[in-house]
């Protein structure tokens, strides 16, 4: 990754921090795109201690805020001429139904629109950089997609279903993006880190959290294991030119949500909610 430039969102804890650390250890210049600059600076210092890397920087972005995403992307484009890797990792699991500053249900705003709008705002610089890669951190823990009620305004809000829906959306939007990137040289893939005990689950209802902890005792993965496939997708020559695939443990796995019509419906809905289309 020497000479490569990567952006990692949600890099101050858990899988995101490990992805950023491993990319920096491979020689990449890494931008820590985070909401809390102080935590970002602490992460930068930790990465420097662990790897000796000097090409790590911090830029502020709140991926639940469309204005913040646009400001971040503009600042990045004004100071960088290329982008080789974008890792969309920042995520939220909200116990109650909350709204973003844009009036969007917060889990959807963060986990789905955050990926979608940030990628859109950086797409031209990605396409202009030879063989750039977009890696979307998704999950096998996905489902409950209701294309007519993405924000839980018609059905009772359920944090588990809201999170599962967001992770299904991550996959659907990756397949739609990969079609749009065909022939450009840039690629987009999604990956599942597996069950890793991180701060993401701190707002999960207690019974679900206890169940996940029990499952994790037998089937859980370390943060390093959870980050590995994302780093591999961002850096390995083995997947050069590969696009529109879903991976876990460095192996392609089937996605039960593949449906071009539904993918396009979701893409159009996200464009509207992000102000990219009327």
Instruction: Give the residue numbers marked as catalytic.
Output: 163
Question: Shortest CA distance to 134 belongs to which of 52, 271, 230?
Answer: 230
Contact (Cβ atoms closer than 8 angstroms) between residue 227 and residue 171: no
Do residues 82 and 129 touch, judged by C-beta distance below 8 A?
Answer: yes
Closest by CA position to 15, among listed 229, 250, 237:
229
Distance of CA 258 to the CA centre of its chain: 19
Instruction: Give the residue from 170, 116, 174, 107 showing the smallest Cα distance to 141.
Output: 170
What Rg, from alpha-carbon coordinates, does the chain have?
17
Which residues are within 8 A (CB) of 236 and not within 5 positions of it... i.e. 6 or more apart?
none
Of all helices (H) and strands (E), which one includes residue 217? Answer: helix 206-219
End-to-end Cα separation, the chain, in angstroms = 40
Beta bridge partners of 13: none
The Cβ of residue 67 has, within 10 Å, a number of other Cβ atoms equal to 10
């Amino acid at each position: 990754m020497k000479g490569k430039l990567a952006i990692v969102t949600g890099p101050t804890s858990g899988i995101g921090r490990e992805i950023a650390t491993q990319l920096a250890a491979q020689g990449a210049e890494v931008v820590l795109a985070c909401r809390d600059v102080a935590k970002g600076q602490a992460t930068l210092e930790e990465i420097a201690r662990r790897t000796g890397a000097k090409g790590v920087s911090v830029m502020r972005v709140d991926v639940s805020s469309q204005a913040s995403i646009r400001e971040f992307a503009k600042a990045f484009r004004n100071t960088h001429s290329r982008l080789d890797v974008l890792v969309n990792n920042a995520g939220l699991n909200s116990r109650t139904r909350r709204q973003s500053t844009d009036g969007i249900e917060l889990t959807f705003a963060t986990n789905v629109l955050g990926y979608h709008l940030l990628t859109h705002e950086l797409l031209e610089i990605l396409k202009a950089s030879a063989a750039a890669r977009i890696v979307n951190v998704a999950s096998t823990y996905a489902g409950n997609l209701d294309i007519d009620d993405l924000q839980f305004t018609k059905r009772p809000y359920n944090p588990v279903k809201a999170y599962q829906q967001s992770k299904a959306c991550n996959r659907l939007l990756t397949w739609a993006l990969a079609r749009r990137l065909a022939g450009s040289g840039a690629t987009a893939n999604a990956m599942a880190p597996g069950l890793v005990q991180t701060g993401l689950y701190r707002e999960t209802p207690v019974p679900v959290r206890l169940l996940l902890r029990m499952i994790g005792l037998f089937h859980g993965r370390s943060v390093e294991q959870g980050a590995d496939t994302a780093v591999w997708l961002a850096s390995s020559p083995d997947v050069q030119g590969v696009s529109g695939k879903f991976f876990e443990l460095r192996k392609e796995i089937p996605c039960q949500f593949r449906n071009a019509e539904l993918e396009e419906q979701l893409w159009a809905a996200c464009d509207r909610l992000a102000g990219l289309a009327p």
